[in-house]
Chains A and B, each alone.
Chain A
C-alpha cells in the first residue's frame, strides 16, 4: 500500500509534500498538471498528507470513492515512464 495523490492536486501542484518526503517518491514534471506518488518507492510514512494545502493525499485504502481511479493513475504514471 502507498499514499495516493487525488484530484484536488490538479492545477495546484503546491509541492509542499515534495519537501517533506524523506524518500523522494513524489514526482511530476512541468508538463504534468498534478503530482504523483510512486507506489514502489513510498514507505507509507504519511509525512506528505498533512502538508497538502488542498487535502489531496490519502492512504490507498482511504481514498474517497469518487477519486479511487487516482490509485491506478498514480501507478500508471510511473509504469508509463518505464516503458
Chain B
C-alpha cells in the first residue's frame, strides 16, 4: 500500500461535490479532448480559462486538478522530475474530493492511473526519468452508467 502523495494544496477554494452533477460544457469537452490527445500545454490553457471564469468556488479545484495532472504529464514529457513530483502530485490530491465521478468524468480512474505514473516517476528518481518520458499516459474517461 502506497503512502499518501505529499503535495500541499492551496487553501484558497473549498472542494465540495455540490456541482458534480453538472453536464460538461463544450469548452470542458474540448479541454478533455486536448488532454486525451496528449496536448498537455493546450489543455492547461483551455482549463485555465474555465477555472478563472468559474464563479462556484467549490468546483474550481476540480478544473485545477485535471489541469495540474496534465501539466504534470507535460513535465514528464520534458523529463522534468521535480516538476512531475510537485505538479502531478498536487493535481491528484486536488481531484480526490471529487471521486468517484464529477461532471461525468471517471475521477477515481484518473486518480488511480495518474498515481501509478506518479509513483513510477518517484521510484525512478531524477536520474531514471528518461525511459519514462514517452510512456503511454492516462486519459480522461467518462463514467459508465
Contacts and interface: CB of A to CB of B under 8 A. Distances in A.
A19 B10 CA distance: 10
Interface string B39-54: 0010011011001100
Interface in B84-114: 86-87, 90
B67 interface: yes
Nearest to B91: A23
Contact of B86 (A19, A20, A22, A41): A41
B82 A40 contact: yes
Interface in B32-77: 41, 44-45, 47-48, 51-52, 64, 67-68, 71, 74-75
Contacts of A23: 44, 67-68, 71, 87, 90
Interface string A31-47: 00000001011010101
Interface residues of B, number: 22
Chain A, interface size category, equals 10 to 19
Interface string A18-30: 0110111100000
A7 B12 CA distance: 26
Interface of A: 19-20, 22-25, 38, 40-41, 43, 45, 47, 82
Given A19-B12, A41-B82, A43-B71, 6 more contacts: A23-B67, A23-B71, A24-B90, A41-B87, A43-B74, A45-B45
